[in-house]
Amino acid sequence: MPLHIFTLSWLMLALVAGSLSGCATPSAPYRPPWTGDALVDGQHAVSNAPPKDKVMWQMITARSALFQKNYDLAEDLLDDVLRSIENRYGKDKEARKSRKLFQDEAGKFFIGEPYERVMAYYYRGILYWMAGQPDNARACFRSAQLQDSDSEKNEFRNDYVLMDYLEGLTSLKLSASADSNYMRATNSARLAIPPPYRSSDNVLIFTDYGAGPTKYASGAYGEQLKFKEGRSSAREIKIASAHEEIHLGPYDDLTYQASTRGGRLMDHILANQAVFKSTTDAAGDAALMSGIVLAHGRNTQEVGLGLVAAGLVSKIFSAAASPDADTRDWDNLPQYLTFGTMSLPPGRHILTLRYLDAAGNEISNLTRTEYIQVNDSPKDTVLYFSDIKQQIP
């Protein structure tokens, strides 16, 4: 091939590359320095991660704070998360950019997929209840359910069992009616049906277990957001005190919730970007091949050079198109959520938590005891337990 063909080609390449230089190039995801203390690492990440990822780190760190019973920190982080979720309306420059052909979806401010937002409200609701504010807890459970209201199919909308169940129980505690809540909760139940309310019970136990779903990108160009199923060796829990034993089933399954949302509007945008990427890539290949062949002919050399240049431009546009789905996720969520109540006299008590597998056998290495202090009436004692004591971001 004559030297001037190469010269022209590289000149075109440089020009187009220059024109696309403003496009986003995915950078390596931020990782906090690992100290082994999830709260230290998480708070470092909240302060130092790119602003677009801050909410994700706040979510992760909030759950680490819950594991460590650092409820004040969890409250602060979740309050900030909820503000970000609630204030997402209106014009958002970064969100608008993330829809553009040459920008990553992950360039937008992270507020999570609906199942992640639901969990932020859910945990904040638990903390409000712990603080003796059942009406604010109810507000959070309502908002949690609302986050699940834009699933593609009707049958998967507002179908968290616990959000309805807990809205009902908080209403009963506030002397309001809860019949429709219980009915909705039982209608949504797939894995286990929650028991009828015992509104006079004074010990309210929230537990969750297993490792929740994770996101991954699928499709030829990573344009499809998919969810890898969460896992849990435990299926049910038995909690025993000296006075009674309760049996808790998995009322909500986060993998199910994550994967039944259906198509997002953003999926269509990314699919179109993937088509663009694929088409420009194929057109670039065809133009390059034809151009190189024609450039060797004495009479077709100019046409050939033009085709080579066009092919290069097309290839560069294809390479610059960025249809990757946003796979940032709240990576320490549980697989199953459950809840139960007990009636215990005020004072110190010992609870034994036994986790059972799908066959009903006890998973002995998960069994543990918790020492609790039951409040004097009328304040309820709200407890949160997880099967994982600490998670490293």
How many residues are present in the chain? 393
Binding residue count for other proteins, defined by CB under 8 A: 35
Calpha distance 374→83 (Å, rounded) = 32
Q: Which of residues 13-52 bind other proteins (CB under 8 A)?
A: none
Q: Does position 207 bind other proteins by CB under 8 A?
A: no
Q: Which of residues 79-98 bind other proteins (CB under 8 A)?
A: 82-83, 86-92, 95-96, 98
Maximum pairwise Cα distance, the chain: 99
Smallest distance, other proteins to C-beta of residue 269, A: 7
Q: Which is nearer to other proteins, 31 or 96 (CB)?
A: 96
Q: Which of 20, 40, 76, 133 binds other proteins (CB under 8 A)?
A: 133
Q: Which stretch binds other proteins (CB under 8 A): 105-113, 283-291, 308-316, 359-367?
A: 105-113
| Torsion, CA 273, CA 276, CA 279, CA 285, rounded to 10 | -100
Smallest distance, other proteins to C-beta of residue 99, A: 5
Calpha distance 40→303 (Å, rounded) = 63
Tokens of 122: 């859910």
The DSSP string of 299-354 is: TTHHHHHHHHHHHHHHHHHHHH----------TT--SEEEEEEE---SEEEEEEEE
Backbone angles phi, psi at 36, to 5 degrees: 95, -10
Site string for other proteins, 225-264 (x = CB under 8 A): ---------------------------------------x
- Cβ partners under 8 Å of residue 390, min gap 6: 38, 64, 67, 68
Tokens of 281: 């890539």
CA distances from residue 16 to 12, 53, 278, 391 in whole angstroms, order as listed: 6, 31, 18, 46
Q: Which is nearer to other proteins, 140 or 203 (CB)?
A: 140
Q: Which of residues 136-155 bind other proteins (CB under 8 A)?
A: 136, 138-140, 142-143, 146, 149-150
Smallest distance, other proteins to C-beta of residue 156, A: 13
Site string for other proteins, 260-289 (x = CB under 8 A): ----xxx--x--------------------
Q: Which residues bind other proteins (CB under 8 A)?
A: 82-83, 86-92, 95-96, 98-99, 105, 108, 111, 124, 128, 133, 135-136, 138-140, 142-143, 146, 149-150, 174, 176, 264-266, 269
